[in-house]
């Protein structure tokens, strides 16, 4: 994976496979602290202490299709290469919280990539799951919560083309408002 957005997609998809009904994705870019943090929290089935340890092993996976699970090990490596780390906390039956930190301006930090497409893909492919996406750049903030959108759209499915088009517009506008001045 060459972009952080791809890592986010992979981890959030793992949350969905773990039975999560709500997945919260929080990105914090803090120029003054030279820190980028990505947090993904879910209410899925959670993991035991042994499963948490094994999650860092690229040759361990609970998936039936692939025989190895590169998602968490690759993200941990990406964080380490950029002067950061990955922290994974989970409790069986209660969910999981992953936090990856990076030095924001580190030469080896992967680019963010298209986070808008990542969020849209998550919503489109998992219309039964609620996603809470928060993005902060210094003092500017953007948030999207599909639970609020569900209340507004009534019986329309979350993955309806017009709804996804609207959500993409909201995300793109929100991100353009918080991005740093060039």
107-145: pLDDT as tens digits: 999 999 999 999 999 999 999 999 999 999 999 999 999
In the chain, where are the structural domains located? 4-178
d(CA 41, CA 11): 10
| β-strand partners of 24 | 41, 132
Residue 82 tokens, joined? 């950029």
d(CA 27, CA 141): 10
Query: Quick one: pLDDT at residue 69?
Result: 46
CATH fold group of domain 4-178: Heat Shock Protein 90 (3.30.565)
Query: Quick one: pLDDT at residue 182?
Result: 54
56-93: pLDDT as tens digits: 877 655 555 444 346 899 999 999 999 999 999 999 99
């Amino acid at each position: 994976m060459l972009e952080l957005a791809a890592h986010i997609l992979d981890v959030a998809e793992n949350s969905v496979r773990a039975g999560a009904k709500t997945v919260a994705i929080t990105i914090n870019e803090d120029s003054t602290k030279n820190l980028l943090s990505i947090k993904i929290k879910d209410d899925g089935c959670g993991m035991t202490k042994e499963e948490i340890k094994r999650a860092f092993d690229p040759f361990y996976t609970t998936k039936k299709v692939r025989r190895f699970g590169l998602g968490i090990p690759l993200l941990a490596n990406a964080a380490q290469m950029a002067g950061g780390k990955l922290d994974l906390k989970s409790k069986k039956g209660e969910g999981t919280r992953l936090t990856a930190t990076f030095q924001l301006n580190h030469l080896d930090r992967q680019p963010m990539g298209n986070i808008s497409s990542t969020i849209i893909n998550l919503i489109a492919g998992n219309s039964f799951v609620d996603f809470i996406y928060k993005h902060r750049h210094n003092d500017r903030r953007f948030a999207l919560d599909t639970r609020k959108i569900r209340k507004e759209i009534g019986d329309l499915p979350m993955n309806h083309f017009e709804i996804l088009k609207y959500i993409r517009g909201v995300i793109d506008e929100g991100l353009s408002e918080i991005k740093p001045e060039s």
